[in-house]
Amino acid sequence: MKIGIVFSGGAVRGFAHLGILKALQEMGISPDYISGVSAGAIVGAFAASKMEAEAAYDLIERSNYKSYLKLAFSRMGFLKLDRVEDLMQKHLPHTFEELALPLSVNATDLTTGNEVFFNSGPLLKPILASCCLPGIFEPVWINQQQLIDGGVLNQMPYEPLEAHCDILIGCHCNPIGDLESPITSMKAVAMRSLYLAMAKASHFKSKRFDVFIEPPLLQNFNVFDTKKSRDVFRVGYEYTHQMAPELEKLREQLSF
């Protein structure tokens, strides 16, 4: 039986995916196909390279990835991802075909409003496009398409895996809960509104997955708080181990 894993977006919360992946690896559950969006596209690429989750976390942290974000000073976004591409070139294959496992990443065509899926050809530009949170990062151009974060339309892109997988595991790192204090800035209002809309759409899709992993404690972490990446990793890891009974049933299915 073939297993597909889908990783949502979530900026710094995406480190939880690596914790989830580490726990699954310890349980002997490994994907055959992977799909990811935004931060999940980056995690998906490392997973599709068959890099151990802890090693991927250490690599990203040691890279001081925050310094690779370059100010754009344009009307299209505050930051550019050019130097992040340079970073990925050092540690990831340059094409989808070079990955050890099949990977799909999705972006949003800003002009047509359509989803765009990538699973062949150059790898790094599609990952960058998938990560382009609107208003924060400058859009990425691929094949004359102006692309932004795929999570705007689809935070749980399971569709490319349906025809190939018997079991689907969904990893969602944007639970929505009550805020401890009122929102006090325009930026916070915009981001909260965006995540509320995306979370609702994701939960509509959650029933499509055989196992849906969504650590509730992640709601306590700001999606841009880079100082909490290890804590976020730990939350994903510990919550997945708490789901051991449900995941053990999945392992029993795989043994048939």
Q: Which of 35, 38, 130, 202 is catalytic?
A: 38
Rounded to whole angstroms, how far apart are CA atoms 243 and 211? 9
- DSSP-derived secondary structure letter, 122: B
Question: Is 38 one of the annotated active-site residues of the chain?
Answer: yes
Residue 231 token pair: 């804590």
The tokens for 105 are 């990443």
Tokens representing residue 42 in the block: 């980056």
CB 253 within 8 A of CB 167: yes
Closest by CA position to 194, among listed 56, 9, 19: 9
Q: Where are the beta strands (DSSP E) in the chain?
A: 3-7, 33-36, 70-74, 77-80, 103-109, 115-118, 140-142, 145-149, 167-171, 211-213
Which of 8, 149, 202, 229 is catalytic? The answer is 149
Q: Is residue 74 annotated as a catalytic residue, yes or no?
A: no
CA gyration radius, the chain: 17
Q: Which residues are catalytic?
A: 38, 149
